[in-house]
Each structure stands twice: as C-alpha cells, then as structure tokens.
Amino acid sequence: MRRIISFVATFLGLLGALQALAQTPVPIPITGNLGSISGSGQPYAGVSVQLQNCPSPVAIVGYMGIVQQTYQIRASSAGLINATVWPNDLITCNGTTGNSQYALTLMVGGVPSGTTQCYQVTSTQSIWNMNTQQPISCSNPPPNPQDGQFNALNINGCFSYHGSGCITPGGGGGLTSINGLTGPALTLAAASGSGLSITQTGTTITIGLATAFAITSFTGGWTVPVGASVINPTFSASYSVTPASASITNTDSISSPTNLTTPFTSGTVTGTFVKTVPAATTFTLSATQGGTLTATQTGNWAWEIFGGVGTAGATSSVTASGTTAVLSNGNVLPRIQIGPEVAGSVCPPATCFTSSPVDQVIYLLLTGGSHTFVDNITGLTVPMNAPITVSFLNANGVTTTMYLYSTMYAVYGSSTIRVAS
C-alpha cells in the first residue's frame, strides 16, 4: 500500500510540474477601444494581428504548446478588444530570440481599414494597449491584404510579377510585354518626358524606349608635350536617353573603372597621367540602358616643334623656355605645334611655317633630320643649310634629339615654307 501511495504521489508531482511548465511563461493582455480610432463603436469590427520577422521553427522556452502566430480578434459590441498574445522577447525564431514583431491591421466589416502598423511587446509590460503603445518601423512591410493576385509588385523603378525579380524596361533583353492578363481592362500611359513608348494590342502591352539609346557625345581627351602631367582629368558625355549606369575605364588602370552617378553626364578620373615618351592613354565610356554602348577619348603626349626668324649663326645649344625654344644667339622660336612635322604637298596636312622676315634667316627646330623644303606658293625649292643635331631638353625636363634647320640666305618679305619630304 505504501508503494502505491508513493507512486501516485510521484505521478501527481510530475503531472503538476508539467502543468506548471506548460503555464510558464504566460501571454500578456491586448486591449483597445476601436471607438477611439474609428470615431464610434464598431460592433462587427476587430483587429488582425500577425507575427512578423519570425522564420520557423517558432518556439518559447518553457512552453510546450504550439506558439500562436496569427490572431483574429473581434471587438465587443461596444468596440472593445480583449485578448492575449505572446510577448516578442520570449519568442524564438529559428534560434534567434527577441527579433520578432506584430503587424496589426484594423478590420471593419471584415475588410482591412487604415494602415498596418507594427509593434514589439515585452514580458515586462503589464498590458498591450493598442490605443496608447507607440508603433515601430515594420522590418518586413506586409502586402496589401486585399491584393491576392499581384503579390510581388515593386515600385522602385522596376516591374516584378509573382517574385519574378526586377525587370528593367527597355531594349536588349528588358521587359517588352505583359501577356496573358485577364480581368478588368488595363490601361497604361507613358508620362511626358519619361522616355518610354507604350502600345497595346489585345491583351499585350508593349513597353519600350521612345528613342533608341545612343551616346551622342563624349569629350575630355587632350594632346600635351611629352613629360607634361595631366591631373584628375574630367570627361563629359551626353545621351539620347539617360542610361541606367555608366563608367569610365582607361588603359593606364588608374582609378579604373570610375563609376559615374546619375545622370551620368560628367565624371572626374582621380589620378595623375604622364608619359616620358610619345604615347597615348585611351579612356572608354561604357553606358548601359538595356544593352551597353561605348565611346572613347584619347590623351596624347607628343614632341613639340618650333619655328621663327633671327640672325644667322645659331649653334646646337638650344634651350626650352615655356612654349618657346631659345637659340644660342638669343633668337626665340615660338612653338609651331604639339606633334612631329608632317611632309606633303598640301598644307595641311603637311607642316607649313609662315613668317615675314626682314633680311633675316628662317629657323625650324624639327624631329626629323633629312627633310627638303619648298615655297608653298611657287613650289620652288628653298635652300637650307645641313641640319644641326640638337639635344633638346624640353620645358617638362625630358630630353630628345632634334634638328635645327636654317635658310642658306637671308629672306626678306612674307614667306611660307612647306616640309615637302
């Protein structure tokens, strides 16, 4: 008999412990007066409460039952709400505790009314009063409860249908049609200046660009003397339609790519570009709108050539001063161009030098040492002394071999000399 009594006592003790475990912790009351929200009592109204931001499995430590995640609470005839919910700080969602929240929607006549608001309630508060507790930002905004068909519509500049992902309007693989829709008639119109073209044939609505996408200009290249530094060059662009993105790359791999910001019409490539020999850096603009188009600009470095008049007798001692070359006898030759001379029968592209000497010698400091020259008007050969080889240090500190030519005789009057060969 004592054993039976002991067993019964043990069983009842375990049963009591399980009951205590099932009752701990406890939910907290939720109250509210719909009359203070709607302006009067709503006898057939209520609230919909849904647990949000809570991936499965959902559990409460110390509670053996299934955690309720959805509450449909009907108001009394006086419009009063009276129910209980589990505090968010006790709910564990896929191993994480305290991150969940409740989305509360007012229901009038079984239809959602007003804006859904989100709350977090804790076990330390005695009650959740929906009329006084401040809402929080919804971490996962709920969809419109009345929209059961288009359940993944984004309004962030793209279209998405039932979770299909963002589809950008435009050519080259973008959204071109919406097919197979049924129900009420659907009418779309392109806003003025939107750059979109919308046509409808039956149940097919075609959306495309009103104007073909093109890069209409890209500027910013240069030609400078060898050794010159170009710092933080700026480029400009224009388009037929504003692109979705654009960037500039360069063959020197300096700040490459440089990503442009909307409207993608200008950008600065941060860095210093310099060459100590004749060379070029190519800059490529890549702009995307459906497809990707490119345009290029070039930064060039080249030798300078010089020409002028003076007294005879200059030697190979030639120095640079800014954009001029100073001869040993003090005569100054202005820069003719950046880039080597070109031989030919037509000026341009052949290099020509026009001067008005007064019984003076014409000097040319060029990059080639075997040229012949003619008078551009008469076509007659211009007698020149054999060129003097010059080791020329330019204004940027770069040395190159050049050749100083001079006429054999003093010249008087206007003259144009052409590099013939």
User: Over the stretch 50-72, which tens digit does the pLDDT of each residue have?
Assistant: 999 999 899 998 888 888 899 88
For residue 334, what are its two tokens?
């202005």
Tell me if residue 21 falls in helix, strand or coil: helix
- Overall average pLDDT of the 12-41 stretch: 60
Cβ(60)–Cβ(123) below 8 Å? no
Q: Name the pTM for this structure.
A: 0.53
Q: How confident is the model at residue 33 (pLDDT cuts 50, 70, 90)?
A: confident
pLDDT of residue 140: 64
User: What per-residue confidence (pLDDT) applies to 170?
Assistant: 43
User: Which of 4-13, 76-85, 103-112, 212-221 has the largest mean confidence?
Assistant: 212-221
Q: How far apart are CA 328 and CA 92, in angstroms?
A: 91
Lowest average pLDDT, out of 88-92, 255-259, 272-276, 411-415, goes to 411-415
For residues 370, 374, 380, 384, the Cα torsion angle rounded to the nearest 10 degrees is -50
What's the rounded mean pLDDT across residues 202-221?
80
Q: What is the rounded CA–CA span in Å between residue 281 and residue 273?
A: 8
Q: Which residues contact 141 (CB under 8 A, 6 or more apart)?
A: 116
Averaged pLDDT score across all residues of the chain: 81
Residue 384 near residue 405 (C-beta atoms within 8 A): yes
What is the rounded distance in angstroms from the CA atom of residue 206 to the CA atom of residue 190? 11
Tell me what pLDDT residue 98 has: 87
∠ CA 403-405-409 to the nearest 5 degrees? 165
Q: Is 99 within 8 Å of 93 (Cβ atoms)?
A: yes
Mean pLDDT, residues 295-303: 97
Band of pLDDT at residue 290, cut at 50, 70 and 90: confident
Long-range contacts of 36-40 (CB under 8 A, 24+ apart): 36/131, 37/106, 37/114, 37/131, 38/79, 38/106, 38/108, 38/113, 40/79
Measured between alpha carbons, how far is 289 from 271 in angstroms, rounded to an integer?
A: 28
Mean pLDDT score, 104-119: 85
CA-CA distances (angstroms) from residue 316 to 333, 379, 403, 405? 14, 29, 9, 11
pLDDT in tens, 113-152: 888 899 999 989 989 998 889 999 887 654 443 343 333 3
Residues in the chain: 421
How far are the Cα atoms of 8, 183, 404 from residue 366, in angstroms, in the given order? 118, 80, 7
What pLDDT score was predicted for residue 24?
Answer: 67
Any idea what DSSP says for residue 16?
H
Among 177-186, 259-268, 272-281, 375-384, which is the least confidently predicted range? 177-186
Q: What is the torsional sign of CA 337, 342, 346, 351?
A: positive
Q: What is the C-alpha separation between 87 and 122, in angstroms, rounded?
A: 5
pLDDT above 70 (res 8): no
In the chain, % helix, strand, coil (3-state, to 5) comes to: 5, 45, 50
- End-to-end C-alpha distance for the chain, whole angstroms: 132
The first and second tokens of residue 231, run together, are: 């710092």
Residue range 366-395: average pLDDT?
95
Instruction: Count Cβ atoms below 10 Å from residue 183 Cβ, excluding itself.
Output: 6
- At residue 209 the predicted structure's pLDDT band, cuts being 50, 70 and 90, is low
SS3 of 264-318: CCEEECCCEEECCCCEEEEEEEEEEECEEEEEEEEEEEECEEEEEEECCCCCCCC
Determine the distance from the C-alpha atom of residue 381 to the mean position of all C-alpha atoms in its chain, rounded to a whole number. Answer: 60
* 8 Å CB contact between 244 and 171: no
For residue 29, list its beta bridge partners. 84
**Residue 319 pLDDT exceeds 80:** yes
User: Of the given ranges (26-30, 163-167, 354-358), which has the lowest mean pLDDT?
Assistant: 163-167
For residue 299, pLDDT over 70 is answered with yes
pLDDT digits (tens, 9 = 90+) for 222-270: 999 999 999 999 999 999 999 999 999 999 999 999 999 999 999 999 9
Res 177 pLDDT > 60: no
Please report, for residues 70, 229, 328, the alpha-carbon distance to residue 395 in angstroms, rounded to integers and kept in the order given: 80, 12, 17
Q: How far is Cα 393 from Cα 226, in angstroms, rounded to an integer?
A: 11
